[in-house]
Structure 1
């Protein structure tokens, strides 16, 4: 029976990114996918800033930028990002480009407006470098990640349906440390495979989650949504962008013929039945309150709901859950793919460290605690949008207050945009930590003209030492190749030294002005490495 370190079930964006993260750390990975080819069904049309920064840290931003250029060229105009034009400046004697933070997306169908965004906001400015690589459709993203997996030697097997999983010893849901020699057997229609660990990234209706009887906690749906690309006999009655009506919400464009519509009411009797032209036309007419006629659907239209749930625990013995297998919710403001991306980079290095034997005690358990808290926030973020989309008169008035009054308050759109873009996520990674510890590093420019992301391509921790005497080098020397040490001593004293995890989270920072002579910063650095990087 074939054995590998990790079997990832599902070759969507989450599964492919996770597989590449594991392979980058030297772990043997096999990916199993039931589809013969990547799904061309229209899904997410972009990624958020946090996801683009993940690609940036792995050297994949140029490929994402090329995808965005192709998409904009096909659309005939550069619309993504709400204006990503760059200005010129000088940093440390080197000419730099300064892109604007991408203003795209919406909250409950209320679009974020360029004219209400302060591009001088230091929070947004520190996350603007990836603005040219956010308009990446899911299909393009899967191709990009599949190529990445191929380069790293990941064994991706398509056309294989997983029937179930079992343990070679004990209970799959027991503590993984209870039987260190136990493996997981994955039963497929092409035979059995064995691995030390299995990650279920097999979608919102995860067969593995259902087989194991994993609790899927949350709230029931209120609406039914549809998305597809269709031919319309006449579109004069449709308004471009997001629109609210007493019957629901709809979005038309920007891709010609693309329609997304959501209607409050009961769920269909057979939610797995293909969406017919007649069904789509009926709901489009009802919600848009027009007599529009659809003559054809291109490809396959999708049906979805605002069912909002997550697994009670992300880890169950030697089986872990990621992406839609771990959480489902409505697609409003495009949080799903990005939430799965975050799962992948959080889990990848932690599982690799566990397999390779250098993980500090309890490291893998932090995958559950950190990602479940983020999922809870995302589920509430999407629930709040559904509440603001209901078709009654009171909701209509509330939408007017939110869109015309609250969003116009200085700084309000900045905050909503930053939160929606994923850059405000925070983990409790240190005791009594203060900002920026626990946040995503974003774009960190160095005096050499390079950036912190340039040193994260190989998936290591990155220590940026901005002291003039390089005093933190000795503190991490014993950790060898796990940490990329970057001396940036010519930097201004206003910028702190940083230690960043492989997933981009800052786990230690030290201001030069605050601690010029004391050894407190070094003690905190030692504590951070002991907690997250382990010992030699």
Structure 2
């Protein structure tokens, strides 16, 4: 039985139509949830902004049927390379390159490779998908003016940007995806943590024929320190367009409105004899890491930068938001669809805030390495040995990256602990480096680990392809499943799919990976995290499964662990 829509013009209002807001809407639409997205901008930002999509984010896009569309506009490896570059300029003869994380480890963790897709290329793909989805209404060129919470609904006031009639939308829930300066968060009175020392930056989007200079030094990011100008250059469109992020703590600081000095700053980090430079756009910004004290209030949830802000140095900000969306969507669908109780939505905040807090800690450590310990080194006057190596002010950053080229633990290794997980009494696996080392496990709360399987249909596929807008039972060959498939569509229960699978690759055993016996099973949540683990199934497993689904989706309020 669904929740009454009486008096509502939609079921969920999403404030903010950037990548995280659009992905939230698309995930909700898979459950049939009607959403209205309110976005101030009429067109995607022309600046590349975020660009790194981890394998986890690409898994979400794959589940939405968008993986190939995103890869079609992403930058190919031939353009970005698999290295980080350090030098005085792009033409420095003493440059250094540092290899990124090994592809073999990535393949073990996921069947879906990461991608470099700049935000100005990603957003049009998402907007097209949203506009082709009947359950989603996307309104652009509107600004939110007020958010009012009622007992069983949320009213969001908005109007056309600049001037126009006051409008409003009333929904069961509201998702705030309106960025670091979130109006919704402020309206709720939710405070952000105090930032550490900020990094002041100037993004300069420019066009230049750089590829002929880079044949033997192709890299994903170029960290540069000319002495007066320092920052990093990233490929924009794979051709003539590039983005230079200048860190404004050196002696040469062009104003954002000074096109000539911006172009000169770019020429200084390209090096002598470089090509002509045309500045396309520029924007000043401040890099800080901050965390909201709460990720929501009642029927309003915060996702993405509205909930947490990390610097681009971590390359993880957008990805955090994508996983917020993945976590929130199925819980909101349960509340709207009537199979999830109010306490299910309340698990969103504790689960995601713990992950964001860890990420911000790591981001701040990275930022400390990116700043010179001695202010005198800010102008590239570091030790001679570093300068001769082309490192300059990036010497500490280079050392940190030598230690932490791999971030598999941060991307795949986090886990949840709430009433939306049924613990089995086992401790989490411990590695020597939680940030870099990912230890696959089927323990409840963790991401269900990647493996290739063959269901009864006989089609070999990654296990994650079996997950979707439903709970999934993965059972071993000898598991006595009984009539549990009949629970799909049962009143008051979430959608359910049951798969009896075998390992598809020689020498692998998925039951060992997941920590169950040959007659065991695991229950996987719609976001791909293990909800419960059954080492061996009881004869009355259908009854046990019915009970556990209710415990997971309708826990008593106030019962959060």
TM-score bin, normalised by smaller chain: 0.7 to 0.9
Query: 2-side partners of 1:46 and 1:456: how far apart?
Result: 24
Choose which of 445, 450, 464 in structure 2 pairs with 1:453. 464
Q: Cα deviations across residues 494-536 of structure 1 (Å, max 9, x unaligned)?
A: 354332211111222345xxx4x7679989866752332449x
Matches within 5 A, 1:158-237: 158-167=140-149, 169=150, 179-180=151-152, 182-189=153-160, 190=165, 191-231=167-207
TM-score, normalisation: structure 1: 0.76
Structure-1 residue corresponding to 2:447: 440
Matched position secondary structure for 1:362: helix
The 3 A distance-change label for structure 1 pair 147 and 295 is closer
The 3 A distance-change label for structure 1 pair 205 and 400 is closer
The 3 A distance-change label for structure 1 pair 142 and 524 is farther
Does the CA contact (< 8 Å) of 2:263 and 2:279 recur in 1? no
Query: 2-side partners of 1:275 and 1:475: how far apart?
Result: 63
Query: 2-side partners of 1:498 and 1:285: how far apart?
Result: 57
- Is 1:504 equivalent to 2:528 in the alignment? yes
Matched position secondary structure for 1:302: strand
Query: 1-side partners of 2:323 and 2:248: how far apart?
Result: 30
Does the CA contact (< 8 Å) of 1:463 and 1:485 recur in 2? yes
- Is 1:423 equivalent to 2:412 in the alignment? yes
Choose which of 41, 59, 65 in structure 2 pairs with 1:59. 65
Matched position secondary structure for 1:63: helix
Does the CA contact (< 8 Å) of 1:18 and 1:345 recur in 2? yes
Query: 2-side partners of 1:436 and 1:243: how far apart?
Result: 39
Query: 2-side partners of 1:215 and 1:294: how far apart?
Result: 46
Query: 2-side partners of 1:58 and 1:235: how far apart?
Result: 34
Does the CA contact (< 8 Å) of 1:40 and 1:139 recur in 2? yes
Matched position secondary structure for 2:294: coil
Query: 2-side partners of 1:279 and 1:134: how far apart?
Result: 33
Give the number of aligned pairs. Answer: 473
- Is 1:363 equivalent to 2:344 in the alignment? yes
The 3 A distance-change label for structure 1 pair 500 and 326 is same
Structure-2 residue corresponding to 1:529: 549
Matches within 5 A, 1:4-403: 4-68=10-74, 71-72=75-76, 78-79=78-79, 82=82, 113=99, 117=102, 119=104, 121=105, 124-131=106-113, 134-153=115-134, 154-167=136-149, 169=150, 179-180=151-152, 182-189=153-160, 190=165, 191-231=167-207, 241-243=221-223, 245=225, 248-253=230-235, 255=238, 256-263=240-247, 265=249, 275-278=257-260, 280-281=262-263, 284=266, 295-298=277-280, 300-360=281-341, 362-391=343-372, 392=377, 393=382, 398-399=396-397, 401-403=399-401
Unaligned runs of 5+ in 2: 1-6, 87-95, 384-392, 429-440, 515-520, 556-561
Structure-1 residue corresponding to 2:496: 483
The 3 A distance-change label for structure 1 pair 253 and 3 is closer
Query: 2-side partners of 1:509 and 1:237: how far apart?
Result: 54
Q: Cα deviations across residues 95-125 of structure 1 (Å, max 9, x unaligned)?
A: xxxxxxxxx7799xx97625x7372x5xx33
Q: CA deviation at 1:243?
A: 1.9
The 3 A distance-change label for structure 1 pair 249 and 483 is same
Unaligned runs of 5+ in 1: 83-103, 170-178, 408-412
Structure-1 residue corresponding to 2:436: none
Q: Cα deviations across residues 340-361 of structure 1 (Å, max 9, x unaligned)?
A: 1111111111112112222145
Query: 1-side partners of 2:299 and 2:554: how far apart?
Result: 21
Q: CA deviation at 1:336?
A: 1.4
Q: CA deviation at 1:290?
A: 7.9
Task: Point out the more displaced range, 335-344 or 502-511.
Answer: 502-511
